[in-house]
A and B are shown apart, each in its own frame.
Chain A
């Protein structure tokens, strides 16, 4: 049995399995858990390096927070728009952004099934 946070899955494998839209790379980072949140101060304080960060935000400050917290990837849910400035900054700063039409809850269900 796999438990939450015990997987050693890489971002690329996850993106393939869940058919996530790829916005920016890299994809070789290992995933070690999940943090869900849209309040950036909370994310700064609580997201750990290597986490997947699930959010509705697609603006440029998400890239700064993702870079500072060293999350493995940002997953923007419900197909929320992602600013072109954010994509550009993500590419420059090597911040991985993925996107899905799923809600945060539905995405989390799938992540648990995968043992992430």
Chain B
């Protein structure tokens, strides 16, 4: 299965001003490729949440989006600080976001659930003090 990179972008910690730019660029790319709108919507939601997670919770990282004939793969990697308890992090409503972030309408403990809900397959590699890697697959 040959994969082609659609987009690769670095994301800085706390860079709310640029939040959503990766997802927006990706949406344009998917439209030009003629990807059906429901698939594009799912990929965009997953990418947006991963993008905001890097901005809000990590020390910075990057997102790469790859396409093959069968699927779109969104890979989000960061430089830490890692998620100590993944199961807990996926509980709806659980959040470690501070008041500033919550005041902007983020950090309500729904992002990871959105990622899981809209992905066909999701793997998370992380741990306390480690880098995190999310790999989300959406079938075409």
Contact = CB atoms under 8 A, between A and B. Distances in A.
Interface of A: 38-45, 55, 57, 59-65, 67-68, 85, 93
B110 interface: yes
A67 B24 contact: yes
Contacts of B111: 41
Contacts of B114: 41, 44-45
A68 B24 contact: yes
Given A59-B104, A61-B106, A64-B20, 12 more contacts: A39-B108, A41-B108, A41-B114, A42-B108, A43-B105, A55-B105, A59-B16, A61-B104, A61-B105, A65-B48, A68-B24, A68-B27
B17 interface: yes
A55 B104 CA distance: 11
Interface of B: 16-17, 19-21, 23-24, 27, 44-45, 48-49, 52, 104-106, 108, 110-111, 114, 117-118
Given A61-B19, A67-B20, A67-B24, A44 B105 contact: no
B45 A64 contact: no
Given A39-B110, A41-B111, A44-B114, A64 B105 contact: no
15 contacts: A39-B105, A40-B105, A44-B45, A44-B114, A45-B110, A57-B104, A59-B104, A61-B16, A61-B19, A62-B105, A64-B19, A64-B23, A68-B23, A68-B27, A93-B24
A68 B118 CA distance: 15
Contacts of A45: 45, 110, 114, 117-118
A41 to B, nearest CB: 4
Nearest to B21: A64
Given A39-B105, A61-B105, A85 B17 contact: yes
Nearest to B46: A44
B110 A42 contact: yes
Nearest to A61: B19
Contacts of A63: 20
B20 A61 contact: yes
Contacts of A65: 20, 48
A44 B48 contact: yes
Given A61-B16, A61-B105, A44 B24 contact: no
A39 B110 CA distance: 9
